[in-house]
Amino acid sequence: MLRFIVLVSLLVSSACALQWEIYREDSTGNEESSGEVMVKMNQGLPGVCWACKWAMRRVKNKISNGVTQDDIKRQLASVCDQIGFLKSVCRGLVSKYTGVLIEEISTSDNPATICKNIGVCKKRAF
């Protein structure tokens, strides 16, 4: 039980620190959008890989064979509204990798492979 409480506390503090960083970047008048800041910070941030796989799974489930790139782009634009507190992470990923994601979603790759290909999930070395 204590481990669970510590884990939840760490996750919440990470999310708060991330939001603070976005606020700080926005308040300094930096030209970068908060989504780009999120993508830059994604390497050590818990939840980015999960958010990517979640979004790709949702988009892949909503599209069918013969779908156009514009349809995929519309799905990508709206998928992040449903993710909850990782919404800004999701939007940052989608805005930075839109072109690549459209191509990846058009293939038969699964969500985990797509997220590994764009670099937000670690590739496991065997």
Mean pLDDT over 72-98 rounds to 87
Residue 126 counted as domain residue: no
Number of domains comprising the chain? 1
pTM of the model: 0.61
**How far, in Å, are 9, 11, 78 from residue 4 at the CA level?**
8, 11, 32
Residue 78's domain comprises 2-118
Residue 67 counted as domain residue: yes
Mean pLDDT over 96-109 rounds to 89
Residue 101 counted as domain residue: yes
Residue 100 counted as domain residue: yes
Residue 124 counted as domain residue: no
Q: How confident is the model at residue 46 (pLDDT cuts 50, 70, 90)?
A: low
Residue 66 counted as domain residue: yes
Say which CATH number the domain at 79 has. Answer: 1.10.225.10
Q: How far apart are CA 34 and CA 48, in angstroms?
A: 15
